[in-house]
Each structure stands twice: as C-alpha cells, then as structure tokens.
Structure 1
C-alpha cells in the first residue's frame, strides 16, 4: 500500500548559504509608559535649567572699588584715588563694594596702594599710624644717606644722627646717636636732587633732638638685617 508522500519544505534544494535567516522582531520588547517618558523629559529639562543657573551665578558681576592713583601708606585716601569697576569675584577674594565709596574716602591707606588693583578692607584703616608713646618725625634724606633698597611703611630702621660742624668741638667729636624708628611713610623722590622725605615714628622724647639734627641734614638711615643682627 502506497503512503502519501509528505511535501518537501520550501527551502529544499536551496543552497545552505542562501537560506533565509530567522529574524526576531524588536516590537516584542517592553514599551516605556507615558509616565516614564514624562519623567525623563522633566529630568533633562531640570538638568539644563540647573546648568544655566550655575552659569548665570558664576557670570554675575559685582561693582567694587579699585585704586586709581598711587597712595602711600599713611596717606589719606581722596575721591580721585578711587574708581569703580564690575568684576566676577571668587568667594575667596575680599573686595570693597562700590557703594561704600563715601565711607572709604577720608580714611588712610594701611599699605601702599597701586593703581589698577582691587581695594580690600585690610588695605584701609581709620587709625593714625603713630602709636601711643611715639612721636612722628619727618626727615629729608639725600640719596647718599638712604639705602638703595626700597623702604616700606612698617619697616624698622636705625636713624643715625650727628651734631654737625656747627656744634662745639666736644659735641662734634661725640659718637653718632642712633635711635630705632619705624617707617610710617616714604615720600616721593624729589625731581631735583633726588631727596626723599621719610616719616618715622620714634620713642617719645627722642623726637625733638632728631628733628633738630634732621633740619641740619645730619642724619642717615641704616637698615638692619631681617633677623635683627
């Protein structure tokens, strides 16, 4: 009895290398819900907004005071010595807001002020630089009686004074008198002659004699080594 022969597959006789390859549809994957899509959109928008706010904050400019003219330590700060500018400040930088300009004018510079630099609170003081128990003496010095090393307010120096030729023979032959002084202000160099006025604070009672000898030009300044030796 003959049996019914089953039909051969459609791929029978087709070479192996060109047989169709079974594919898997991607549609069978899990679809995201509308709620998840909305949450993703909110997170992306929030990140972009936060980045913009951070950029806006770092780019914020603050009006501050800057130095417009040279001001020696101890000098009174005048209106023309200050200018206003707007800068992006690092939190570590301490500057004086421009709105406090009127309060700064009339105070003294605690340190030499250089044009173009930001003005910080520590550079300004409302105290005189002469302490209790001191006297302030101004001495005019020729270049040969002053070290070439630049002096600044706060430096400690030795002021050497001699009686001079006008004094008596015994006094003229006396040893030079030395007094320790603290530099309060260094004046500008004179255009003719190069003299420079130095304001120094000396112990009370030593000021009159030093001033008298300075008036005769019989003083010089000696700078000690940094370790005091």
Structure 2
C-alpha cells in the first residue's frame, strides 16, 4: 500500500509527492524439499512392506542333512531345520512334523540340502504288498565292483541246477539297500513274492547273480528282445 503527503510550493500551492512503492512479501518455495520428503516416505513404506511380506512367508522346514537313498529309514541325524521362503506351489514338511517322520522310510531319494516333501515319505508298508526282500551276499573282492544304488532296477538271474541245455531264468527286482563292510557287501533286493523261495534257494546254492540293466526290467514271462545270447552280465 502507498501513501502520499501533500507539499506546498513557494506559491502556496499544494503538490502531491509520487507514491512510494512497497514490495509484496516474498514467499520462499521449497518444492524440491517437499518432493524429496514425499519420495522418502514412499520408499520407507515399500521397504517396510517388503520386510513384512518376507517375514510373513518365511517357514521353518525340514531339509536332508545328507544324501538320503530311496527306502532309507529316517533318523534324527538325517534332518535339518532351515528357514526358507517358498512359493505356495512348493510342497514341504514343517519342522513341527520332524518327530512323526523318525522311523519312516523314504519313497524316493533326497539329495543333501533338498527340501523334504510329503511325497518323499512312504506311507506304505515295507516290503510293499506282493514283494519280498531277498539278500545277495558278495565277498570283499566281489564287493569292490558293486555299484548298485537303492532304487536301481535289476534282475536276479538263476542258473540251472545241473549242466543241462536249460536256459537260466530271472526275476525282475529293485535294489532296496546295500550294506557294506570290510568283509564284503550284502544287497537287499525286492522281488515278486511268488519268486522269493526259489530265489533264496538259488542264492544259498551260489546259482544266483544280480544283473544291472540300464532300461526297464522285463519279467521272466516277457520276451526279451535281445535274445538269450545277450542277457547281460554281472555289474
């Protein structure tokens, strides 16, 4: 706002002085500070949300403390508890269920550090229905060449009891366990229940051997496309 003060001249006339200009108050704008502050709030909120989501999805699960074979009986030392963040589609076993797994058998091999899934633990009896475990022993020299692993498909081949023209017979089997010691090795083989007695007698008489096949094992009633001259050999 401006004011004028009348002045008198030498002749006595009043002359108005020009108004004084008054500058309006200056408003100091800090838009950049406002933007930075708002950005910091947003970033802080996002970090807090991320931390909350990570914490809310972290689970205490069981993992294999070492390489575990198929059919292995679970012990306390086989399991470790690890906090992990898993996708909802990944099956796992909670650490609270550890006690219920002790003494159960694995339905599949579990590598060291892998998260244990419910499907890895067998809910069936052992041996499975319709199958029997027979044992084949190897002395120390023979055991040095044994490379069987639980879960391998094999054939237990039986030589005829006498030197005749009869062809050897075999039964399809699966390795259940391999027990090694300084004196040799004993291999547990799952075979059809109906073949167990004859195989046990042949094993006891030294007429049985285990053949390790690369592909699916045919039953003794099926035709072997390779023919009798190429039925494999011992591992």
Please give the range of the TM-score, normalised by the shorter of the 2 chains.
0.5 to 0.7
Looking at structure 1, the residues matched to 202 and 90 of structure 2 have their Cα atoms a distance apart, in angstroms, of 46
**Greater displacement, 205-214 / 47-56:** 47-56
Query: Are residue 177 (structure 1) and residue 181 (structure 2) matched?
Result: no
Q: Deviations over 1:149-199 (max 9, x none)?
A: 843334322211235xxxxxxx3214463223221413132223xx33222
Residue in structure 1 matching 2:148, options 147, 151, 160: 151
Query: Are residue 213 (structure 1) and residue 210 (structure 2) matched?
Result: no
Query: Are residue 191 (structure 1) and residue 182 (structure 2) matched?
Result: yes
Q: Which secondary structure state, in structure 2, belongs to the residue aligned with residue 125 of structure 1?
A: coil
Looking at structure 1, the residues matched to 145 and 88 of structure 2 have their Cα atoms a distance apart, in angstroms, of 39
The Cα of 1:116 is off from its aligned counterpart by 3.8
Q: How does 1:60-139 map to 2 (within 5 A)?
A: 61-69=58-66, 71-139=68-136
Looking at structure 2, the residues matched to 61 and 182 of structure 1 have their Cα atoms a distance apart, in angstroms, of 42
Give 5+ residue unaligned stretches, structure 2.
Answer: 1-25, 218-225, 227-235
Corresponding residue for 1:200? 189
The Cα of 1:208 is off from its aligned counterpart by 0.7
TM-score relative to the length of structure 2: 0.62
Pairwise CA RMSD of aligned residues?
3.6
Query: Are residue 53 (structure 1) and residue 49 (structure 2) matched?
Result: yes
The Cα of 1:110 is off from its aligned counterpart by 1.4
CA contact (8 A) 1:66 1:84 kept: yes
CA contact (8 A) 2:62 2:93 kept: yes
Looking at structure 1, the residues matched to 196 and 136 of structure 2 have their Cα atoms a distance apart, in angstroms, of 11
CA contact (8 A) 2:81 2:95 kept: yes
Count of matched residue pairs: 188
CA contact (8 A) 1:185 1:200 kept: yes
Q: Which secondary structure state, in structure 2, belongs to the residue aligned with residue 108 of structure 1?
A: coil
Q: Deviations over 1:48-80 (max 9, x none)?
A: 312332244336642221223554322321223
Looking at structure 1, the residues matched to 90 and 147 of structure 2 have their Cα atoms a distance apart, in angstroms, of 28
TM-score relative to the length of structure 1: 0.63
CA contact (8 A) 1:156 1:180 kept: no
Greater relative contact order (CA < 8 Å, ≥ 6 in sequence): 1
Looking at structure 2, the residues matched to 91 and 85 of structure 1 have their Cα atoms a distance apart, in angstroms, of 17
